Amino acid sequence: MSVSQANHRFVAPAHPRVVPVPAFRDNYLWLVLPPEGGRAAVVVDPGDAAPIEAALDARGLTLAAILLTHHHPDHAGGVPRLVERFGCPVHGPRAESIRGVDHPLDDGDTGAVPAVGLAFEVLSVPGHTRGHIAYRCAPLDGDPRPVLFCGDTLFAAGCGRLFEGTAQQMHASLSRLAALPGDTLVYCAHEYTESNLRFARAVTPDDAQVAARVDEASRVRAAGTPTVPSTIAIEQATNPFLRWDDPGVAQAAARRLGRAPSSTVEVFATMRAWKDVFA
C-alpha cells in the first residue's frame, strides 16, 4: 500500500504487482509484474507499445503475455510491435477481429501465465463492443483480493459508452460484474473518475457517499495520483450505473423520462443516454 492511498475510502490500496503505465491522454495500460526474482511481466490492453517497452526496460523485464479486452486501437494498437520484439502470446476475445491474437477466448475460458503466477477466468461483458471480455484473476501472492481487468465496461464511478452493444447487454454485463466479491480490485482502462463523479452527483445530489468520493477524487488527482483501482463494493455504493435499484437513481431516471421507468434496464439506459450528453 502506498502512503498516498493509506487513508483513502474510495481508492483501494493497489496490488503491489499491478502497476499503471499511463498512455495517450487518460489511458492506463496495466502491467502485472512477476514475483520477486521473476524476469517476465504481463500487460493488459497495450494501446501503445512505447511506454510498455520503456517500463519493461526500466525493470529489466521481458514480456510473457498480452491480455486484450476488446479491439479499440487505444487498447490493442501496440500489439504488433510488442509481439515482434518479445514473441509473446496474445489472449483476446474470439468474437472480435484483432490482429495478433493467437489465443482467442470465450466466456468461461480459463488461462494462466505461469511466469507471473497469473491465473484468470474470462467473463463475456458485451455492451461497449460486441465481443468485450474481462479477466477475473485469482489472488496474487499473499493478497487475498481477486483482481478484475475490465477494460471499458466498468469504470470508477461510470461505465463505457454503448458503441456496438445495447443497453440490455451492458446492463447484464454490469450486473455480472456487480455480483463479484466486494473486495475485488477493479482495474479499468481510463482515468475518467472525476468526470464520472460529476455525473453521479448530478444524479443523486444528496448522496453523502457520492459527495465524499467527489471530494476525495479531486484531492487524489490534484496530487497526481491515479483514482484506480477501486473495488466492486466501492462501485456498488457510489456508481450510478450499478445502482439502478436505488430510489434516488430511479427517481432521477423518472425525471428524465417524465414517467416512472418500466424496468431496471430502462433506468440504466436512461442514465447512459443522459451521461452521453452530460457536460
- Any domain includes 6: no
Q: Are 75 and 42 in contact (CB under 8 A)?
A: no
The residue-averaged pLDDT of 104-109 equals 98
pLDDT in tens, 216-246: 999 999 999 999 999 999 999 999 999 999 9
Mean pLDDT of 101-130: 97
Q: Give how far the C-alpha of residue 243 lies from the chain's centroid of Cα atoms, to the nearest Å.
A: 18
Per the structure, how many domains does the chain have? 1
> Does 72 reside within a domain?
yes
Mean pLDDT over residues 90-110, rounded?
Answer: 97
- Is residue 2 in some structural domain? no
Whole-number mean pLDDT of the chain? 96
What is residue 4's predicted lDDT score, i.e. its pLDDT? Answer: 42
Please check whether residue 11 lies inside any domain of the structure: no
Q: Is residue 145 part of a domain?
A: yes
DSSP for 206-266? T-HHHHHHHHHHHHHHHTT-----EEHHHHHHH-GGG-TTSHHHHHHHHHHHTS--SSHHH
In this structure, what CATH number is given to the domain that contains residue 160? 3.60.15.10
pLDDT (mean) for 87-93: 98
Residues 53-82 have pLDDT tens digits of 999 999 999 999 999 999 999 999 999 999
pLDDT(7) > 80:
no
pLDDT of residue 3: 33
What cell was used for 164? Answer: 456496438
Structural domain range at position 178: 16-277
Q: Is residue 44 part of a domain?
A: yes
Q: pTM of the prediction?
A: 0.96
Residue 9 lies in a domain: no
Asked whether the beta carbons of 201 and 239 are under 8 A apart, the reply is: no
Q: Give yes or no for residue 6 having a pLDDT over 70.
A: no
**Residues recognised as catalytic:** 70, 72, 74-75, 128, 152, 190
> Does residue 225 fall inside a structural domain?
yes
